Amino acid sequence: MEEYDSEKKMEKENLGPRMDPPLGEPEGSLGWVLPNTAMKKKVLLMGKSGSGKTSMRSIIFANYIARDTRRLGATIDVEHSHVRFLGNLVLNLWDCGGQDIFMENYFTNQRDNIFQNVEVLIYVFDVESRELEKDMHYYQSCLEAILQNSPDAKIFCLVHKMDLVQEDQRDLIFKEREEDLRRLSRPLECSCFRTSIWDETLYKAWSSIVYHLIPNVQQLEMNLRNFAEIIEADEVLLFERSTFLVISHYQCKEQRDAHRFEKISNIIKQFKLSCSKLAASFQSMEVRNSNFAAFIDIFTSNTYVMVVMSDPSIPSAATMINIRNARKHFEKLERVDGPKQCLLMR
Amino acid sequence: MANVDDKHHLISEVDHEVHPGPMNIQFDSSDLRSKRPFYIEPTNIVNVNDVIQRVSDHASALNKRIHYYSRLSTPADTALIAPDHVVPAPEECYVYSPLGSAYKLKSYTEGYGKNTSLVTIFMIWNTMMGTSILSIPWGIKQAGFTTGMCIIMLMGLLTLYCCYRVVKSRDTIHSLNTTTWEYPDVCRYYFGSFGQWSSLLCSLVSLVGAMIVYWVLMSNFLFNTGKFIFNFVHHINDTDTILGANNSNLVICPSPGSGGHSDNDSMIFYANDTAVQQFEKWWNRSKTVPFYLIGLLLPLLNFKSPSFFSKFNILGTVSVLYLIFLVTLKSIQLGFHLEFHWFVPTEFFVPEIRFHFPQLTGVLTLAFFIHNCIITLLKNNKNQENNVRDLCIAYMLVTLTYLYIGVLVFASFPSPPLSKDCIEQNFLDNFPSGDILSFIARIFLLFQMMTVYPLLGYLARVQLLGHVFGDVYPSIFHVLIFNIIIVGAGVIMACFYPNIGGIIRYSGAACGLAFVFIYPSLIYMISLHREERLTWPKLIFHIFIIILGLANLIAQFFV
């Protein structure tokens, strides 16, 4: 319990910019980070029943979708997922606003439990919903709970199922919703995205969310650029391990395909699914032809790296040695940045 | 879930996890949408000059996405199946012959068609038949009767052989999957981008030529219809049958002594009647009527999708059948008037062999033209092994129809009072505007042409703008400019050179050169050469065909 209190204290002290590591902190203060039994920070994925959260989770995290997606009732129990997401985050999925009185009572009683230790709240709105007032009401009650229990949490709002809106009206409708949500969320700040599982917007929204959650992303990008220039790579990408969302990337020349991040992510996730059927796990991949060579490999404990070399004369072994050496450097980088600030912590 | 660090837990985790459907192949989904294939529609193929066709990034990403999502759920689960508005709709497929019909073809997703041989033969006949019928009697007149008949049969055989070569051209390519290919794709395979651009050019020439002919004919028919209605309302007995036969006003010779065309009937003298004079002034075949059509047709050309117009395809068949009926009736009324003079023209007859016969071959090149879409038409045949047989039967029927109409009109043309030289390029012009039967024919043809015109405009626009700008509808501005140019060309021709026979033979010889004569033969020779099976007789024969095509084109300018 003492560790828990000190954790809370640290929380209040470090409200400043998360970029600078606190001075004087001994390297790797593993003291107050407990092994697996530590209080894990949560990512809450909330929204009305049927707004698309389960499909979204399945797509982003490459899980097989639960059989009964056409549930008649709301999710009564929280869906835990043991996916390690950005270090020590656990994804919790909640349905908000069930019709059942029983459901509402349960929700109210368990509120503190649900909303404590929340790092990120992702709230999903169905753009086709006919009960806008009700949706906003539930959203606001969630915000109240967040304000009480985890005031530092980051709030993201996803206006989902945008493919059901006509193309020429999408911008307009999204702008309206965004203004409403911004207004309702005060004093908390929320970032809004419009998403659909049928185009690249979902992937981009989640990539932005991940990008916002990483405190030292500029530093990472600088190091990545140095790395890329040293090994003479065309492009270097850093992926989050479980979702293959692009955390940062460096490219030395204009690439043609703007959709390549999502495509690579989908290809690898599909491959991971196949691997898991054979009780194997994906570790690395090398793709080579006469024009280029690409290497995908485990990088740090929470990331994968993809290196694209357009000079096929450089032997694979050389690049792989370079990646191995860089790995050590980046792990050190993660650890140096202090256990609290850096979410990419072990 | 692939959780790398918990390796020692992995096996038990796998045991606990329920792995549904994808491994269970006995599972069958009642939702056909899960079986619907996703393919890249041709509009998304952005770069056709490379050996490998590149697909647009957007379509490629969607493909990957759908692929991945299908692995996440069971086939019974509809949550991650692509909805209709996301999966691209099957491409609209149009078949057309420039002077015949144009309509939307139903494409069968299973890859094979369900049409019986009879339906396929009828479809080929129906597509080829059209306004080229109107010029066949004139063509026979230009070539001479015997020569004309022989030429019709020989051209039919020649174009049939070239069509057969077109149908067989895909089989010569073994390395690629050619099931979705049409003839321009084969040309591109053999001749690279030159083949692609030249086939595009020829296709455009045929389409624009056809649209100009349509404009001229529509002005003509509209003029005659208006005149008929005016005369009917004002009870004017049309006196322009001064040159008609005795009492029967069945056939007229609009311009005596020459094959030319008098535009505005200025030789007819009426009593001083201001109403009639006003009408004459405002309703003139070449000065005003072509412009009235602009208001009617230019808006129709700007539609994004002309599938509405393809529903009127039946009008084409009805018009042709009515023309056959009309010709039969008239020839019964008029009787036969044939005399055979072999080399010397007489006052009323033309010689059997004339040096103007290339004009007929030029017209026939466009009349027998279906090489651009024959592959698509035959694809829907249920019994593919009968393709060649059905093609031959269809060509035979087309030849018979042309012979029937041409010979009957030519033979029944009342020669003692009128010269055979009077046969007009559009044989309906030989009937006075007061004749009710030809009035009905003109109405039918007018409506049919008004529905085919926007379709041809759409096809020309799709081909040109699609290849030049990469987008079939870049902006209303581009489309409007394109339409104005085409309509302008039609109006200019209708005003200054309304000789449809001339327009047909020039455009026919030009576009037929590539599609009918050169490419089929050349591709056949190249494929044989690659397989080392090219023999001297075949080489000489096919080079001869190519020379014939060239001669056809060159001769148009000299006779």
Q: Using H for helix, E for strand and C for coil, what is the string for A93-157? A: EEECCCCCHHHHHHHHHCHHHHHCCEEEEEEEEECCCCCHHHHHHHHHHHHHHHHHHCCCCEEEE
Q: Based on the number of CB atoms within 10 Å of its own CB, is B322 exposed (0-12), middle (13-18) or buried (19 or more)?
A: middle
Q: Is the pLDDT of residue A176 over 70?
A: yes
Q: What is the mean pLDDT of residues A167-190?
A: 87
pLDDT at A231 over 80: yes
Judging contacts by C-beta atoms under 8 Å, the chain A residues touching residue B71 are 270, 273-274
Nearest by CB to residue A65, choosing from B14, B73, B86, is: B73
Structural element, H or E, at residue A231 = helix A217-231
Mean pLDDT value across residues B173-182 = 79
Q: Which residue in B167, B121, B135 sits closest to B367, CA to CA?
A: B135
Element (DSSP H or E) covering residue B202 = helix B183-234
Residue of B nearest to A346 (CA): B5
Q: How confident is the model at residue B227 (pLDDT cuts 50, 70, 90)?
A: confident
Name, in order, each residue with C-beta under 8 angstroms of B159's C-beta and a sequence gap of 6 or more.
B364, B365, B368, B369, B371, B395, B516
Q: What are the pLDDT digits (tens) for A88-107?
A: 677 776 666 555 555 566 56
Beta-sheet pairing, A118-126 with A41-47:
parallel
Q: Is the pLDDT of residue A339 over 50?
A: no
Q: Can you tell me the distance from the alpha carbon of B378 to that of B356, in angstroms, rounded to the nearest whole number?
A: 36
The model's pTM is 0.62
Residue B62: CB atoms within 10 A of its CB come to: 23
Higher pLDDT among residues A49 and B478, named by residue: B478
Going by their DSSP bridges, the two strands A79-85 and A89-95 should be labelled as antiparallel
Residue contact A266–B80, C-beta within 8 A: no
pLDDT at A39: 55
Identify which of A198, A269, A279 has the shortest CB distance to residue B68: A269
Is B460 a residue whose pLDDT tops 50? yes
Q: Which residues of B137-157 are buried (b: 16+ CB within 10 A; e: fewer)?
A: bbbbbbbbbebbbebbeebbe
Q: Do B69 and A199 touch (CB under 8 A)?
A: no
Angle B145-168/B387-412 helices, nearest 10 degrees? 160
Q: Which range, A13-17, A110-114, B273-277, B366-370, is most confident?
A: B366-370
- Supply the pLDDT for residue A343: 46
A321's tokens: 């040695």
Residue A13 in this model has a pLDDT that exceeds 60: no
- Taking contacts as CB-CB distances below 8 angstroms, the residues of chain B near A279 are 10-11, 14
**In 3-state terms, what secondary structure has residue A306?**
strand
Longest dimension (CA), chain A: 68
Whether the per-residue pLDDT at A73 is higher than 80: the answer is no
Query: Across residues B352-375, what is the average pLDDT?
Result: 90
Q: Is the pLDDT confidence value at A113 over 80?
A: no
- State the sign of the Cα–Cα–Cα–Cα dihedral B49, B50, B52, B58: negative
Pick the residue of A69, A164, A169, A198 with the most B CBs within 10 A to test the interface with B by mutation.
A198
Q: Which two tokens stand for residue B77?
A: 């689960």
Average pLDDT of chain B is 80
Please, what's the largest Cα pairwise distance for chain B? 111
Nearest by CB to B10, which of A58, A267, A279? A279
pLDDT at B348: 79
Determine contact, residues B61/A262, Cβ cutoff 8 Å: yes
Per-residue DSSP letters for A29-85? -GGG--STTS--EEEEEEE-TTSSHHHHHHHHHTPPPPS-TT-SS---S-EEEEEEE
pLDDT for res B555: 93
Side-chain half-sphere CA neighbours of B106 within 13 A: 10
A-chain CB neighbours of B15 within 8 Å are none
- Residue range B542-555: mean pLDDT, rounded: 93
Average pLDDT over residues A332-337: 66
Residues in B touching A266 (Cβ below 8 Å): 64-65, 67-68
Asked if B445 and B133 touch (Cβ cutoff 8 Å), the reply is no
**CA distances (Å), B29 to each of A58, A124, A142, B32, in order?**
21, 30, 39, 7
What does DSSP assign to residue B517?
Answer: I
Residue A80 pLDDT exceeds 80 = no
Instruction: Give residue B297's identity as a one-letter amino acid code.
Output: L
Residue of A nearest to B19 (CA): A64
Q: Where is average pLDDT lowest: A25-39, A286-300, A313-327?
A: A25-39
Q: Which chain A residues have any C-beta within 8 angstroms of a chain B C-beta?
A: 54-55, 58-59, 61-65, 67, 69-70, 82-84, 163-164, 197-200, 241-242, 256-259, 262-263, 266-267, 269-270, 272-277, 279, 281-283, 298, 301
B5, B20, B67 ranked by CB distance to A270: nearest: B67
Q: Sort residue B256 into left (φ over 0), alpha (ψ -120 to 50) or beta.
A: beta
A301/chain B closest Cα distance in angstroms: 9
CB-count burial class (<10 Å; 0-12, 13-18, 19+) for B340: exposed
CA distance A320 to A316: 6
Q: Is the pLDDT reported for residue B386 higher than 60?
A: yes
**Which of B72, B78, B81 is best to mutate for the A interface (most A CBs within 10 A)?**
B72
> Nearest CA to CA, how far is B4 from chain A (Å)?
6
d(C-alpha A55, C-alpha A45), whole Å = 12
Chain B environment of A257 (Cβ under 8 Å): 57, 60
pLDDT for res A50: 77
How confident is the model at residue B327, as a pLDDT?
92
Question: Which is more confident, B70 or B495?
Answer: B495
Contacts of B58 in chain A (CB under 8 A): 259
For residue B442, pLDDT over 80 is answered with yes
**Given a cut of 50, is residue B233 above it in pLDDT?**
yes
- How far is CA B415 from its chain centroid? 34
Judging contacts by C-beta atoms under 8 Å, the chain A residues touching residue B74 are 67
- Report the percentage of chain B scoring pLDDT > 90: 26
Centroid of chain to Cα B142? 24
Residue with tokens 């060579």: A293
Query: SS3 for B36?
Result: coil
Q: Would you say residue A38 has pLDDT above 60?
A: no
A65:B85 CB<8 A: no
A276: nearest CB among B1, B58, B61: B1
- Using one digit for the tens of pLDDT, what is the confidence trace for A45-61? 888 777 888 788 888 88
Please report how many Cα atoms fall inside a 13 Å half-sphere around the Cα of residue A102, on the Cβ side: 5
Tokens of residue A284, six digits: 């690395």
Query: Given a cut of 60, is residue A1 above it in pLDDT?
Result: no
The letter for the amino acid at B360 is: L
Give me the DSSP letters along A241-283.
Answer: TTT--EEEEEESS--S-TTHHHHHHHHHHHHHHHHHHTT----
| pLDDT over 60 at B2, yes or no | no
CB–CB of A277 and B80 under 8 A? no
pLDDT > 70? residue A337: no
How far off is chain B from A88, nearest CA to CA, in Å? 13
pLDDT at A5 over 90: no
How far is it, in rounded angstroms, from Cα A135 to Cα A123? Answer: 10
Looking at every residue in chain A, the average pLDDT score rounds to 75
* Segment among A48-52, A149-153, A205-209 with least mean pLDDT: A48-52
- 3-class DSSP state of B457: helix
Q: Which of A305-314, B124-133, B261-270 has the lowest mean pLDDT?
A: B261-270
pLDDT bracket for residue A240 (50, 70, 90): confident
Residue type, A333: L
What confidence tens digit (pLDDT) does each residue in A279-308 have?
888 888 898 888 888 999 988 877 889 999
Task: Categorize the per-residue pLDDT at B537 as very low, low, confident or very high, splitting at 50, 70 and 90.
Answer: very high
Distance, CA of A279 to CA of B127 (rounded, Å): 60
Q: How many CB pairs under 8 A join A and B?
A: 101
The yes-or-no verdict on residue B350 having pLDDT over 90 is no
Using alpha carbons, list the distances in angstroms from residue B422 to B245, B345, B356.
Answer: 13, 13, 15
Lowest mean pLDDT among A5-14, A199-208, B218-227, B432-441: A5-14
- Higher-pLDDT residue of A117, B113: A117
Q: What is the mean pLDDT of residues B1-26?
A: 38
Closest residue in chain B to residue A84, using alpha carbons only: B3
Contact A227, A337 (CB under 8 A): no
Residue type, B133: I
pLDDT value at residue A336 = 57
Span B169-192, average pLDDT: 83
Q: Give the residue on B whose Cα is nearest the Cα of A51.
A: B79
pLDDT score for A215: 67
Cβ–Cβ contact B69 with A under 8 A: yes
Measure CB to CB from residue A270 to each of B3, B62, B71 and give the nearest one.
B71
How does B284-297 read in b/e, with b if 16+ C-beta sit within 10 Å? bbbeebbeebeeeb
What pLDDT is recorded for position B362?
92
Say how far apart CA B130 and CA B134 lie, in whole Å. Answer: 8
pLDDT band at residue B429 using 50, 70 and 90 as cut-offs: confident
Name the more confident of B555 and B244. Answer: B555
DSSP assigned state of B42: G
Mean pLDDT is lowest, of A147-161, B153-167, B339-353, B492-506, for B339-353
Give pLDDT, residue A103.
Answer: 54
Provide the pLDDT for residue B397.
95
The answer to whether A279 contacts B77, with C-beta atoms less than 8 Å apart, is no
How many residues are present in chain A? 346
- B39 pLDDT band (50/70/90 cuts)? low
Evaluate if residue B69 carries a pLDDT over 80.
Answer: yes
The band of A114, judged by pLDDT with boundaries at 50, 70 and 90, is: confident
Q: Average pLDDT of B369-386?
A: 86
Q: pLDDT at residue B337 above 70? A: yes
- Decide if A81 contacts A90 (C-beta within 8 A): yes
CA angle at B536 for the pair B531 and B540, rounded to the nearest 5°:
110
Three-class SS state of A234: coil
| Phi-psi domain of B192 (left: phi exceeds 0; alpha: psi -120 through 50; beta: other) | left
Q: How close is the nearest chain B Cα to the Cα of A50, in Å?
A: 11
Give contacts of B72 with chain A, Cβ < 8 Å: 58-59, 62-65, 273
Chain A nearest-CA distance from B504, in A, is: 45
Cα separations (Å) of A216 from A84, A212, B132, B260, B507? 20, 10, 76, 87, 70
Spatial separation of the C-alpha atoms in residues B467 and B481, rounded to whole Å:
16
Residue of A nearest to B61 (CA): A263
Instruction: Identify the residue with better confidence: A287 or B278.
Output: A287
More confident residue, A70 or B407: B407
Q: In residues, how long is chain B?
A: 559
Rounded to whole angstroms, how far apart are CA atoms B136 and A276? 72
Residue A24's region, left for phi above 0, alpha for psi from -120 to 50, else beta, is left
pLDDT of residue B134: 92
Asked if residue A86 lies in contact with residue A102, where contact means CB atoms within 8 angstroms, the answer is: no
User: Residue A133 has what pLDDT?
Assistant: 85
Residues of B in contact with A263 (CB under 8 A): 60-61, 64
DSSP designation for A119: E
Banded model confidence at residue A151, pLDDT cuts 50, 70, 90 = confident
